[in-house]
Structure 1
Amino acid sequence: MIAKLSGLLDETGADWAVIDVAGVGYLVHCSAKTLAALGIRGEGCTVYTELQVSENDMRLIGFASGAERDWFRLLTGVQGVGSKVALAILSALSGEELQRACAGGDAAMVARANGVGPKLASRIVNELKDKAGGMASFPGAPPGALAPPPGSASADAVSALQNLGFKPAIASAAVARAVEELGDGAELDALVRVALKRAAG
């Protein structure tokens, strides 16, 4: 699976961009916020990606950050929320606003997104309410940082630090800073090494 693309911004449209990676142009569908973050045509850019495969379609969805991709995965896990609706929500709300809306049961905020009616907005905040509570920003982590997905290197690193005696909040914050420093694809041992320095410091 393609997890990340780094290349030149070749072309953009209303909800898509073409990223030229070594002469191959990848069409990625993006939220308005991601498109704005990509910069101008001809410049270097990086997008985190999610490959969606259906019976008659394959599409690559692009995100400016790993956190935005995590929200996309959560949103598309809600019944009735496809990739278009999820991108519309991520275009209208930042991760922090979405987190606040879900945690506080504010369906009206989610309904501000194009194509999201009151019923669907209520379902989204109800289904994600508990998950949003566990996804609060960690102390010292970048705004909107999410709890690492189970089974990921980040989650394993948090667990490793807790086994060494660090409290969950401190372990999470240290790993979040390590991920910010090393990037999303960092190996477990590198994450633990850097996170230990951050936690001890």
Structure 2
Amino acid sequence: MIGKLKGTVDEIGEDHVLVDVHGVCYLAFCSGRTLSKLNAGEAVTLFIETYVREDQLKLFGFASALEREWFRLLQSVQGVGSKVSLAILSTLTPSDLANAIALQDKTAISRAPGVGPKVAVRILTELKNKAPAFAGEAMGTIGLKQELGEGVASAPVADAVSALSNLGYSRDQAANAVAAALKTAGENPDSAKLIRLGLKELAR
């Protein structure tokens, strides 16, 4: 089983890369996001997921271990295979994906090619309790976003996010700002204070 490849980029294709490891070239299928970071002739390290079937052996390569974990997690959802998983990871970063699941944002998931509304809803439903563990740097705000997505956030928090959204910020930006505001707002802040602190965060 191959877990990681370290070598030189030999060739970049539309959906794959050839990595030269001491004269042996390995073909790894990658997300568009990972491929965009690669340049022919440069050194590369890819985290690898190995698929072994009766008639084939496939390698899938990822720029980070977190992206590989999301690739595995997405395929735990019924009807989601490797092709759809790579399409999603080509469209959304791991943190964006965690945010979308926490906020139950079907539109964000549906932006990926080949992901229809039914599949998007299935992903949101089946992965909503797993998103925090795979949120990476976004872990600190995922809990609040889950509360917003499920409609159980406190009234001041929900009102502050709504107010910032009405000012033209995306729901994700508003939620991030309010999450940051909560760290400095003290105990039981009202919506006005959260809005004021949230705007300061957004102005940075």
- What's the TM-score, normalizing by structure 1? 0.66
C-alpha contact 1:49 1:62 (8 A) present in aligned 2: yes
Deviation at 1:58, TM superposition (A): 1.6
Deviation at 1:144, TM superposition (A): 5.0
- Provide the residue aligned with 1:109 in structure 2: 108
User: Aligned AA for 2:81?
Assistant: G
- Provide the residue aligned with 1:172 in structure 2: none
C-alpha separation between the residues in 2 aligned to 1:104 and 1:144? 13
C-alpha separation between the residues in 2 aligned to 1:84 and 1:29? 10
C-alpha contact 1:95 1:144 (8 A) present in aligned 2: no
- Provide the residue aligned with 2:193 in structure 1: none
C-alpha separation between the residues in 2 aligned to 1:98 and 1:126? 13
User: Aligned AA for 1:26?
Assistant: Y
Question: Is residue 2:46 matched to residue 1:47?
Answer: yes
Deviation per CA, 1:27-80: give whole Å up to 9, x if none: 000001100122x11111110000012333221000000010010010011111
- Provide the residue aligned with 1:6 in structure 2: 6
C-alpha separation between the residues in 1 aligned to 2:85 and 2:134? 18
Deviation at 1:127, TM superposition (A): 0.5
Task: Map 1:154-173 onto structure 2 (within 5 A).
Answer: none
Deviation at 1:134, TM superposition (A): 3.6
- The structure where helix makes up a greater share of residues is 2
Percent identity at matched positions? 52
Task: Map 1:14-93 onto structure 2 (within 5 A).
Answer: 14-38=14-38, 40-93=39-92
How many residue pairs match? The answer is 139
C-alpha separation between the residues in 1 aligned to 2:120 and 2:27? 29
Deviation per CA, 1:94-127: give whole Å up to 9, x if none: 1111001111111211110001110001001110
The 3-state SS of whatever aligns with 1:105 is coil
C-alpha separation between the residues in 1 aligned to 2:23 and 2:96? 37
C-alpha separation between the residues in 1 aligned to 2:29 and 2:35? 9
Task: Map 1:164-183 onto structure 2 (within 5 A).
Answer: none
C-alpha contact 1:5 1:46 (8 A) present in aligned 2: yes
The structure that has the greater radius of gyration is 2
C-alpha contact 1:67 1:144 (8 A) present in aligned 2: no
The 3-state SS of whatever aligns with 1:71 is helix
User: Aligned AA for 2:32?
Assistant: A
- Provide the residue aligned with 1:94 in structure 2: 93
C-alpha separation between the residues in 2 aligned to 1:85 and 1:136? 20
Deviation at 1:136, TM superposition (A): 3.9
C-alpha separation between the residues in 2 aligned to 1:8 and 1:14? 18
Unaligned runs of 5+ in 2: 140-204
- Provide the residue aligned with 2:160 in structure 1: none
C-alpha separation between the residues in 1 aligned to 2:25 and 2:138? 30
CA RMSD of aligned residues (A): 1.3
C-alpha contact 1:107 1:125 (8 A) present in aligned 2: yes
Unaligned runs of 5+ in 1: 138-142, 146-201
C-alpha contact 1:16 1:28 (8 A) present in aligned 2: yes
Name the CA shift for 1:23/1:52 in 2 (closer, same or farther; >3 Å).
Answer: same
User: Aligned AA for 1:63?
Assistant: F
